[in-house]
Structure formats: C-alpha cells, structure tokens
Amino acid sequence: MIQHPVSTVWRDRQSPPVRGRLHAFATGRGRRPRRIAMLSVHTSPLHQPGTGDAGGMNVYIVELAKRLAGLGVEVEVFTRTTASDLPPIVELAPGVLVRHVTAGPYEGLVKEDLPAQLCAFTHGVLRTEAGHRPGHYDLVHSHYWLSGQVGWLAAERWGVPLVHTMHTMAKVKNAALAQGDTPEPAARVIGETQVVEAADRLIANTSDEAGELSSHYGARTDQLAVVHPGVNLEVFRPGDQRAARARLGLPEGAAVLLFAGRIQPLKAPDVLLKAVAVLLERRPELREKLVVPVVGGPSGTGLAEPKSLQKLAAQLGIGDVVRFHPPVGQSELAQWYRAATALVMPSYSESFGLVALEAQACGTPVVAAAVGGLPVAVRDGETGALVRGHDPGDWARALEPYVTRPELVARQGAAAARHAAGFGWGAAAASTAEVYAGALARPAGRLGGARRRLV
C-alpha cells in the first residue's frame, strides 16, 4: 500500500484522506492564510543544492512554497543576502517572492557565525512588514533553528501563529556523530529548545521525528504534526537508463553505485568508498564493471578538507572506479538517478532524505542507512535495502547484490517508482496548509498573551 505524505496531530488516530482535507481547507472550514512569511536565514531557496549549506531543505522550501501558492496562499521567503548584486526581491514563481535581507557581510560567513547576525536579520524582517498595512502576514513558517529564533520574535510582534520545521536537531545529530565530526554547540540546543517552546505548531517529517521533538525537547502533543516531504514527480520520473548513461559518459553495461549530496562526514560518503574497497577485495573481478559517481560538493565540516574524499579513494586503491562531479540542477540530477544501478545513502543522520525519494521516483533502488526518516522513505527489501550501522563490511555485503543481480535491480526499481508516486508535493502542501489552518483556528500558544499585547 502506498504511504501518502499526510499530516496528523501527534496522537494515535487515522487522518482523513488528503482529498477530504484539501476540500475542507479550500471551502473554509479551516481559515486559509492569505499570505505567509517563510523564513530561511542560513540558506537561500535560490542556491544550488548539493554544496555549501544548500541541500534538501532548499528543495523542500522551493517545492512547498510553489505548491502553497497553487492553493492560493502567497508565500514570501526571507533569506540572508549573500552577494552585493542580488536584487532585494526575486519572484521565484507566481505567488512566491524571495526577499533578501542584509545581515552581516555578504560573503565569508559560515553557518556557525550566523547567530551573531540574527538581530540584524530580524530587524530586516520587521522593517519589511512595517512597510505594509497591519495584518500583512497571517502566519510565520520558519525553517531550521536559526530561522525559528527570528520567527519567534516576528510572530510575537505581529500577533500571528508560528509554525516551525526543524529539518535537523542538535541532540539527534550529536547522538550519531561521524568519526571526527564536530558536535553541535550547546547554544544551538538552547536555541532549539526556545523555538519549540514558542511555536504554535511543529511540523515533523516522520512520526519518529515527532517523537524526538517530544522526548528531547519537551514538545507538547498539541504542537506536533507529521507531514512527509514530497518529490517533484514531473522532474523525477522513470526514463531510459541507456540514454542517461550515454549522455553522462557512463558505460552502458556498468554497475553504477551513485552518491548524490553534500560531501561532509554526516552524509558518510567515505563509508561508501570503504565498502567498495572491501567489495573489490572480495570480488576483484567486479572492478571491470563497477563505477561509483560522487555528485556533490564539500559542505559543513567537509570544507576543512575539500579534497579528502579524492585522497581516500586513492589511498583505498579505487581511484579508477570513483568519479567526482560537481553539484547539478534537478533535471540533470534526474539523469544521474536514471543512469544509476542504485543510489547509496550511508548517512549518520537524516530527518527524511529527499534524494532517496527522488531516486526511487526515477525507478532506482536505494541502499540507505536505517536512520532518521530513511526507513519511511525506503521500504527495506522492496524498494531497496536498509543497513544498520556503518561498518564497511556490512555495506559491502548489502551492495553486492545490486552489482551482481540485475533482476533484483529491475524488480526493486519498479517497486521504487510505485512507492515514490505516493509522495507528490501537492499532497504535502495540502497537509501543510491544514496545519496552518489549525494554527489559525485556535488562540496562539503559550505566548499568545504576549503576542496580543505587542500589537
């Protein structure tokens, strides 16, 4: 049975079908927001995913904003200006504006430097709203804890609900650090706790994430809603593998194990390379047919040694098998997925793992770590395989069937495409809109009195 990206309050009850919820939203049984302020401080929806701090959250914001606009909800995304030649306002799509806010120097700031610029960013957001008539924004939706800090203040000032999506959490990441990776600072933990306290609604990608918000941060049951992210089914769809390989310069008969994403310890591309080395040591005859493309750029702590993965490939003796490619746009990324035998995601932590859905939508199985939302995105043994832990030997055993058994790849690829078809962004946006309507239908949360006094 296809698992649809539905929204539910965090309790044991079945949600009504998406179509029924969308109808209720559209006909007014829950008040529709006319316009929302969406906050993304540390990464712009205009940035190329796969490098720097741009990743799945960028895709999430772009796709969600477009689909919300299609439902009649205007979206204005506030993000930090990162270049002097950026216009103050960019129309991303009909009904979706990106507003650039000057906060600190345009270049040279890493994510860890941004807390010092939150005051300036908040000033820019509040000044924009002050240029309109009161009530210009009906709701604030913040993404990641830095934006949540700004959203907390803006929602109080405007007397509107705050909806927040964490995307990742410090306590969860610190509990599953890659070897040598840097723990998230205590300041982030404190900031996330404050945002949870302030939010009227918290949108989690999975039920497990909702449970983590409750257990780690004390989120209340009436705050929590689960909305599975979606996938752009118009861009990511099955296609001709032979044509995709010809376009990308990949051998037609190769076994292609693809890594696509930011190159940093958290995403664990080194585990894939070590597993390939183990596999080739066990089965040296596979070297002639194996190709391992790594599509992405350094990010986070990976920026400290941007060539570390290339050096590792050489040290492992698999430099002839591994190919490195810079990040690509969505249409070309879809070609990489179609060309692949399997997508490999050995991450230590993933709130959901959008690339897993994208690959499956293209008819490609996924071999992924059994962490975070990946057990929801990938059906173990049906649309791919889930691996517990990060031992290269275990990963080599999990990957070998995808190199040697084309009938397995074909069967799981077909199942993967059917599975991903249940995760369209339209349904995710309808579910998010329901969360908005619920937040607007009742008084603001714990800070509601303060909000009313401020306006």
At residue 51, the pLDDT reads 53
CA distance 367 to 379: 10
Would you say residue 454 lies in a domain? no
Return the pLDDT at 108. Answer: 75
Digit-coded pLDDT (tens) for 264-307: 898 999 999 999 999 999 999 999 999 999 999 886 554 556 68
Residues 309 and 186 in one domain: no
Does a structural domain hold residue 151? yes
Over residues 63-86, the mean pLDDT reads: 95
Q: Decide if pLDDT at 2 tops 80.
A: no
pLDDT confidence tier of residue 39, bands split at 50, 70 and 90: very high
pLDDT value of residue 23? 34
Question: Do the domain assignments include residue 452?
Answer: no
Task: List Cβ neighbours of 220 (8 Å cut-off, separation of 6 or more).
Answer: none
**pLDDT tens digits along 213-241:** 999 999 999 999 999 999 999 999 999 99
Q: Do 218 and 250 reside in the same domain of the chain?
A: no
74 and 195 in a single domain? The answer is: yes
Which residues are paired to 415 by β-bridges?
Answer: none
68 & 11 share domain: yes
How many of the other CB atoms lie within 10 Å of CB of 384?
A: 30
Over residues 197-208, mean pLDDT = 96
What tokens appear for 2 in the block? 């296809």
pLDDT at 25 over 50: no
Q: What is the mean pLDDT of the chain?
A: 88
pLDDT at 31: 81
Lowest average pLDDT, out of 6-15, 38-47, 230-239, 438-447, goes to 6-15
Domain annotation covers residue 236: no
388 and 440 within one domain: no
Statement to judge: residues 225 and 246 lie in one domain: no
Which is higher by pLDDT, 442 or 154?
Answer: 154
Instruction: Give the CATH number of the domain where residue 33 resides.
Output: 3.40.50.2000
Domain assignment present for 235: no
pLDDT at residue 449 above 60? no
Residue 446 has pLDDT above 80, yes or no: no
Q: What is the per-residue pLDDT across 100-151, written as a single tens digit (0 to 9) for each? A: 999 999 887 887 889 999 999 999 999 999 999 999 999 999 999 999 999 9
Handedness of CA 208, 213, 219, 223 (dihedral sign): negative
Alpha carbons 141 and 136: distance in angstroms, whole number = 14
Q: Any idea which of 87-101, 107-121, 192-206, 402-416 has the lowest mean pLDDT?
A: 107-121
pLDDT of residue 358: 96
What pTM did the predictor assign? 0.83
> Does 379 lie in the same domain as 428?
no
Query: Is residue 455 a part of any domain in this protein?
Result: no
Instruction: Check pLDDT > 80 for residue 313.
Output: yes
Residues within the annotated binding site for Mg(2+)? Answer: 337-338, 340, 364
State whether the Cα torsion 391-397-403-407 is positive or negative: negative
Same domain, yes or no: 124 and 25: yes
My answer on whether 313 and 208 are in the same domain is no
Same-domain status, 172 and 252: no
pLDDT at 14 over 60: no
Mean pLDDT throughout 304-330? 91
pLDDT of residue 21: 33
> Cα(195)–Cα(97) distance, rounded to whole angstroms?
25
pLDDT digits (tens, 9 = 90+) for 141-186: 999 999 999 999 999 999 999 999 999 999 998 988 887 788 999 9
From the annotation, which residues make up the binding site for UDP-N-acetyl-alpha-D-glucosamine? 48-49, 56, 262, 267, 328, 350, 358
Q: Residue 8 has what pLDDT?
A: 39
**Can you say which residues are annotated as belonging to the binding site?**
42, 48-49, 53-58, 111, 144, 168, 188, 262, 267, 328, 337-338, 340, 350, 358, 364
10, pLDDT greater than 50 = no
3-state secondary structure labels for all residues of the chain = CCCCCCEEECCCCCCCCHHHHHHHHHCCCCCCCCEEEEEECCCCCCCCCCECCECHHHHHHHHHHHHHHHCCCEEEEEEECCCCCCCCEEEEECCEEEEEECCCCCCCCCHHHHHHHHHHHHHHHHHHHHCCCCCCCCEEEEEHHHHHHHHHHHHHHHCCCEEEECCCCHHHHHCCCCCCCCCCCHHHHHHHHHHHHHCCEEEECCHHHHHHHHHHHCCCCCCEEEECCCECCCCCCCCCHHHHHHHHCCCCCCEEEEEECCECHHHCHHHHHHHHHHHHHHCHHHHHCEEEEEECCECHHHHHCCCHHHHHHHHHCCCCCEEEECCCCHHHHHHHHHHCCEEEECCCCCCCCHHHHHHHHCCCCEEEECCCCHHHHCCECCCEEEECCCCHHHHHHHHHHHHHCHHHHHHHHHHHHHHHCCCEHHHHHHHHHHHHHHHHHCCCCCCHHHHHHHC
Structural domain boundaries enclosing 245 = 241-420
Mean pLDDT value of segment 72-76: 98
- Residue 453 belongs to a domain: no
Residue 96 lies in a domain: yes
Q: What percent of the chain has pLDDT over 90?
A: 75
How many structural domains does the chain have?
2
Q: Which residues are annotated as a binding site for 1D-myo-inositol 3-phosphate?
A: 42, 53-58, 111, 144, 168, 188
Whether residue 120 is found in the same domain as residue 258: no
Q: Same domain, yes or no, for 428 and 391? A: no
Is it the case that residue 7 has pLDDT exceeding 80? no
Least confident interval from 17-26, 164-173, 247-256, 352-361: 17-26
Per-residue pLDDT at 364 exceeds 70: yes
Output the pLDDT for position 30: 60
